[in-house]
Amino acid sequence: MSLAFYTGRAPALSKLIAAGNYSYTRLREAIGLAKSVHQAIIRTGSSIINKNDIRMIRGHRIVQLKQGPDLALFTQPGVLFRLGLWLTEVLRDRITGVNVSRRTKKKSLPLILACLDEQDRTYLVIVVERKSRFWRC
């Protein structure tokens, strides 16, 4: 693999090479870690959808993660937020919006994700709300 191909197209990588901080093995490890996180998100999200673990309570969609092989991974806020984004993207076509009143248009409901941290016996709670084309937390 030639680094000359990447230096012209990726300025961040060329800066790392110039600073001497570039390590091909560390890059491969980081890519492997990103792949495993993505696979855990897809595996857990698919399990949530297949088991119908999404509950409706007072105008909110709620998902509670209490068990699973990747539970410790989802105690990190960034990973749990990415799971929420993935779920809202997948469920956008499957679940229709809700009419709040007769005069308003259909509205998508916020998704609340709660993940149990077994060591601390606490929950990490993330809210993902879809507004037109932008995502907010």
Please write the tens of the pLDDT for every residue from 5-16.
Answer: 444 456 666 666
Predicted confidence at residue 39, as pLDDT, reads 95
Euclidean distance between CA atoms 137 and 135, whole angstroms:
7
pLDDT digits (tens, 9 = 90+) for 99-134: 555 555 556 788 999 999 989 899 999 999 875 333
- Token pair for residue 35? 């792949």
Euclidean distance between CA atoms 105 and 40, whole angstroms:
35
Helical residues (DSSP H) of 20-112, grouped into ranges: 24-50, 77-94
pTM value is 0.72
